[in-house]
Amino acid sequence: MAASSLYRNQATTTMEFNNKKLTRTTTLIHYVISIALAVFLIGLANRIIWDMDSVKPYPELSTYEPGTDIRKYRVIADSLEQEAQIKRDELKSIQLRMDLEQTTLDEKRQSFASWISNRTATQSNTVNDEINLRNREMDSLQNSIKRITKERLLHKASIEDLQSTISANYNRITAEQEKAYELLTTAVRAYELRIFLSRLLFVLPILLIGVYMLLKRRGNSYWPLFRGFVFFSMYAFFVGLVPYLPSYGGYVRYSIGIILSVFIGIYAIRYLRAFVKRKKQELQRSTKERSEQIKEETAEKALENHMCPSCGKDYLINELHQSGHKKGALLHYKITPYCRHCGLELFKNCDTCGTQNYAHLPHCYSCGDHIMKSKTNLNLKNEGSLRNENENENENENENENT
């Protein structure tokens, strides 16, 4: 009766914690805790990194221009531009004067031609002085137009000279700007390197702690909190540090990528080899020992996926069933009580009602009684023997100390 009540209590406790909905809810709450912690840690880290980056301002080009002659050449360029603008205005004035003289000359010619034609038509005798006077006026206008044309050409030549001088001065400005850009590039590299080193000093301990938690604290009862810190460390590395890696033409980033790939690859290969080795060693044990080490969650997942919880192989066997009414063969699946790959017992009959049950779940689905009594008793015996051995060892140590 006592054993039966013990089994009933264990069954009740197991059923309470074996609820799938409760498991999903717990998992969801754990992830919410992890994400919330990661979000707040990321916000705090961003504020710290922002304050670290704002200690020294980002280099600007205007800071390094006084170290060159760019300002002197800019003053010269402004004066040359002003002089060239004056020359252009004078050239416009000269062009207006020439246009005015040319218009006057055209009018004089038209007037003279009309006067000559009238004189010829009327056969009037006029003095030659009038003709000479008109000719002198037109010659004066033509000479004036020639002077203005020459003056315009001289102004054009002087403007072209100024343009060549301005162009040469702009070339000097460009050369000085290149010097300033070189100084700026050197300063920017030094600034980015300083930012990277400061971020590295801040992120590297966080990353190492996150890797340690990922490798050593996954089975801890406070794993959701550790997982939140792991999320935060991954964000700090990939968002807070990787974009600020010095490039130097891409050599540094590609080299770091190669190093990380090699280390991660070595770790993955070693982990997979160790896992395969453990599985091989596990399969070399007896079926009884392997059955005792199977957890209930593993057994549930194996049953849902119709797999052996020890070796992971499918325990269903394909059989062809010949139909009497229809032509052809139908495919049927048969459940085997033992795994045909590793020999583990998969299904057994309940000791109370004789119903066949999955051997690695605690209770019979027909009567509710415990179907793993032998396993439970063996675990209790092992715990008792271990407890007795520990007590004997403590007593021996106390006797040795007294001696």
Same domain (yes/no): 146, 89: yes
For the chain, give the percent of residues with pLDDT over 70: 76
Same domain (yes/no): 240, 339: no
Inside any domain, residue 36: yes
What confidence tens digit (pLDDT) does each residue in 97-129 have?
878 878 877 777 777 777 666 665 444 445 466
Same domain (yes/no): 180, 323: no
Q: Which of 246, 277, 302 is the last residue of a domain?
A: 246
Of these ranges, 29-33, 73-77, 308-312, the one predicted with the greatest mean pLDDT is 29-33
Same domain (yes/no): 137, 242: yes
Same domain (yes/no): 222, 360: no
Cα separation, 173 vs 75, in Å, equals: 10
Domain containing 108 equals 25-246
Cα separation, 44 vs 96, in Å, equals: 73
**Between the CA atoms of 10, 11, 14 and 19, what dihedral angle is there, to the nearest 10 degrees?**
-160
Cα separation, 204 vs 227, in Å, equals: 17
Whole-structure pTM value: 0.52
**Residue with tokens 């002085």, as numbered in its chain:** 129
Q: Phi first, then psi: what are they for 311, rounded to 5°?
A: -100, -15
Same domain (yes/no): 301, 351: yes
Q: How many CA atoms lie within 13 A of 397 on its CB side?
A: 6
Inside any domain, residue 273: no
Cα separation, 363 vs 374, in Å, equals: 13
Looking at residue 380, its pLDDT comes to: 45
Q: Is the dihedral of CA 219, 220, 221, 224 positive or negative?
A: negative
Q: Do the beta carbons of residue 363 and residue 11 sit within 8 Å?
A: yes
Same domain (yes/no): 316, 200: no
Inside any domain, residue 176: yes
- Say if residue 379's pLDDT is above 50: no
Same domain (yes/no): 361, 229: no
Which CA distances in Å does 125 have to 64, 77, 119, 122, 223? Answer: 86, 66, 8, 9, 129
99 Cβ contact list (under 8 Å, min separation 6): none
DSSP track, 134-158: HHHHHHHHHHHHHHHHHHHHHHHHH
Looking at residue 30, its pLDDT comes to: 92
Task: Count up the domains in the chain and report the number.
Answer: 2
What confidence tens digit (pLDDT) does each residue in 218-255 have?
888 899 999 999 999 988 888 888 777 776 656 766 77
At position 334, the amino acid (one-letter code) is: K
Bigger pLDDT: 48 vs 382: 48
Looking at residue 37, its pLDDT comes to: 93
Q: Do the beta carbons of residue 159 and residue 88 sit within 8 Å?
A: yes
